[in-house]
Homo-oligomer: A and B are copies of this chain.
Amino acid sequence: MRIGLGQINSVVGDLAGNAEKMRKTYAEALSNGVDLLVFPELAVCGYPPEDLLYKKHFLQDNQQTIEKLATDCPQMTIIAGFAEGLDDKNYNSAAILQDGHISKIYRKAQLPNYGVFDEERYFQAGSEPATIDIKGVRAAITVCRDIWDIKWLSSFLKDTGQIQLIVNISASPFHTGKMEQRKALMGGCARKFNCAVAYCNLVGGQDEIVFDGRSMIADSNGEIRATARAFDEDLLIADIITGDEGVRIEPMRPQVPQPGDSLDEIYQALVLGTRDYARKNGFEKVLLGLSGGIDSSVTAAVAAIALGAENVVGVTMPSKFNSPETKADAEKVAKNLGIGFLSISIEPTLEQFNRSLGSAPGWDNKGVAYENLQARIRGTMLMSLSNQYGALVLTSGNKSETAVGYATLYGDTAGGFAVIKDVPKTVVYKLAEHINKITGREVIPASVLSRPPSAELKAGQKDTDSLPDYDLLDEILKGYVEEDKSAEELIEAGLPKEAVHRVIRMVDRNEYKRRQSPPGIKITSKAFGKDRRLPITNRYRSPL
């Protein structure tokens, strides 16, 4: 039996466009003799459709689209995810299309409602397993989290008889370490049920999350025998061969290359996430501020790779506090990347603001207000150019800054998409080196990598004036933000008390800034945004 996993990049809400992608994949599968073609979870409407699921007409459109797909693709068995509205209940369903119509529907039973997931908000849990028989292969159909609890799955499938295959359609977002989890899971499932497992994942960026694809097929020993492309569309085809020795897998094509390491995964996630956010939202061009620092340099590089250098403009906006070295580096990065470059001094505007605000009692041209003013003038200039050119503004704040609120609201946070929002500062440095390595030249100059970080909002300013060293900061943040540890636990683990207290306090009181910051790409196990939902009004302080 020949299976094809149609790893497509669905766009949320673009039902017609997604169906068209599926028809094209069907045509390709047909010419390759595929018997069973599988598409990801909610392939018809994209994932996650969120409150679109509260609209009755959206569910009707899902139904019409999947029915038309059945009519259009009669010559093989297809499994495809869609949002099903039935008697005032909604299901996250897999339709089985055969002979021009929907022959069966499986409804997802295990609904995730944690992290970035809100499926209990929208869906009823299904309760009936579903199997199909194709060319002597009996396959059980599952959706995403249904296979994540093997004990539960055993009980759920206990009456289906011996199966040779588990088909799992997924929309599983990327974060570092996720691939290893999935492989372990598939292996466990295959061995437990003594069958092959075919896992078809979505690919593409959707607001904060990136689906990394890498659909897989495991044999009944739990060995992964075929893996689809990472961070790209693919049609993975293999033969599933049953026999006394178990179920074997014979991939049709040689294995495609996979990401080199977790840094390479992050890099590819950022590129795809940026490309899809811009393109799916109708932007050809992007703009960003170039300070000559590491964050904006890496963001510019990702943008140039994702969208083409000709579609990126870097704008440097120096004041009297910017050193000649950083100004030169900003220009050098733009030149190295081949992107557009503009330089607009903020100095006369800063002076004029200062004069106008001088009429307000107590206005002071030295303090934090004056520092933030510089960042806000830059944000306003970028947004003015954005309005003028119809270009999306990318912001460059990293996860470490975002966590402690080391950013100016409506200043450097002004923009539509925050490329490295979930990348800790220490990883931003590694990414810069990775980008230089894969491009084979010094795209990001050595001087950018070696200069101590500074916001350059007053004379002689360094990040370390108000923050711990980034190595320490990132360690504290990993414990507090990603692992929900208390100050007490972090200090017990050996982290310095004063720094832990200071950092935690900064994280807690800057929730209001994060609430108004643009979405950015999740790459860690817990990102700011949908993944971590804390009240702004919140007096809780971790015990000391």
Contacts and interface: CB of A to CB of B under 8 A. Distances in A.
Interface residues of A, number: 89
A367 to B, nearest CB: 7
Interface string A15-39: 1010000000000000000000000
Interface in A111-125: 113-114, 118, 120-121
Contacts of A542: 55, 57
Contacts of A372: 383-384, 387
A156 interface: no
A12 B207 CA distance: 29
A387 B414 contact: no
A345 B349 contact: no
Interface stretch (A216-224, A351-359, A456-464): A351-359
Interface stretch (A132-140, A324-332, A428-436, A514-522): A514-522
Contact of A346 (B206, B356, B532): B356
A540 B381 contact: no
A280 interface: yes
A535 B368 contact: no
Given A54-B484, A379-B410, A534-B52, A12 B540 contact: yes
A380 B373 contact: yes
B376 A363 contact: no
B57 A533 contact: no
A344 interface: yes
Given A384-B376, A539-B11, A484 B410 contact: no
Given A518-B516, A535-B48, A359 B384 contact: no
Interface of A: 11-15, 17, 45, 48-52, 54-58, 61, 113-114, 118, 120-121, 205-207, 276-277, 280-281, 342, 344-346, 348-349, 352-353, 355-357, 359-360, 362-364, 367-370, 372-373, 376-377, 379-381, 383-385, 387-389, 409-410, 414, 416, 484, 486, 488-489, 512, 515-519, 532-543
Given A349-B356, A369-B387, 16 more contacts: A13-B541, A48-B535, A57-B486, A113-B120, A113-B121, A118-B118, A348-B355, A349-B352, A352-B352, A360-B385, A363-B384, A367-B387, A368-B387, A376-B380, A515-B518, A515-B519
